[in-house]
Amino acid sequence: EELVGAAPPAEMRSMAIGLAHSLSRYKLKFSPDKVDTMIVQAIGLLDDLDKELNTYAMRLKEWYGWHFPEMGKIVPDNLMYAKTIQKMGVRTKCKGLDLSDILAEEVEAELKDAAEISMGTEVSEEDVANILMLCEQVVSLSEYRAQLWDYLKNRMNAIAPNLSVMVGELVGARLIAHAGSLMNLAKQPASTVQILGAEKALFRALKAKHDTPKYGLIYHASLVGQVRDTSETLPR
């Protein structure tokens, strides 16, 4: 105020507000907590895609299963199942097709044998057209999920390399998302990290005065799974 004493109070207030806005904008733009926002969003989208893919794939197998019920056990993989239907259409075309780019040789032979003696019902061209559109959704979502998984692994290795090595990219991303940010996760004690993801079970056990859960999300880490000891000190 001494340096700009000639300025009226109204202008001083405007300058102070403008300076505060600029500082806040700078802090938000260069906040270290924002670098893991992409990880939190990516792991959330990955979980949503898994749910959608499972729903679509289950519906596809139930739908096409009326026409070719034996195929579900022969080709259990959802993506291979959808790609095979895209190439085959109706089961009567299976015998004359080359499916070696999708299926293994023995699986292809078993599928062709099953197609000849299948007990499934006949379907119309309109039915097949709608089934093929559902196949396109399954294939496209599966390909996008693979791209998203590669993106998530790269982001985790760049932002949290130590955490990725210790518990893996997937579990590490889930821990970050559950804690809210990498900074929040780093500030939490080992006892809190140990039960992240099992809060409901913890409070339920405390309310019922039962044994509390030993671990939460970190139970799925490969490093934890390699150890046979299941005592309470293992996750720590």
pLDDT score of 141: 95
pTM, entire model:
0.74
Contact by Cβ (8 Å): 42, 155: yes
Tell me the pLDDT tens digit for each residue of 102-126: 999 999 999 999 999 989 999 999 9
Q: Which residue has the tokens 């970190």?
A: 218
Contact by Cβ (8 Å): 194, 155: no
User: What average pLDDT does the segment 129-154 reach?
Assistant: 95
Q: How far is CA 61 from the centre of its chain?
A: 22
User: What average pLDDT does the segment 190-194 reach?
Assistant: 79
Contact by Cβ (8 Å): 70, 38: no
Share of residues in the chain with pLDDT > 70 (%): 85
Tell me the pLDDT tens digit for each residue of 56-89: 999 999 999 999 999 999 999 999 999 999 999 9
Q: Say yes or no to pLDDT of 167 above 60.
A: yes
Of residues 6 and 60, more confidence is placed in: 60
Q: Which residue has the tokens 């044994």?
A: 211
The number of C-alpha atoms within 13 Å of 124 and in the hemisphere containing its C-beta is 3
What stretches of 58-145 adopt beta strand conformation (E)? none
Share of residues in the chain with pLDDT > 90 (%): 45
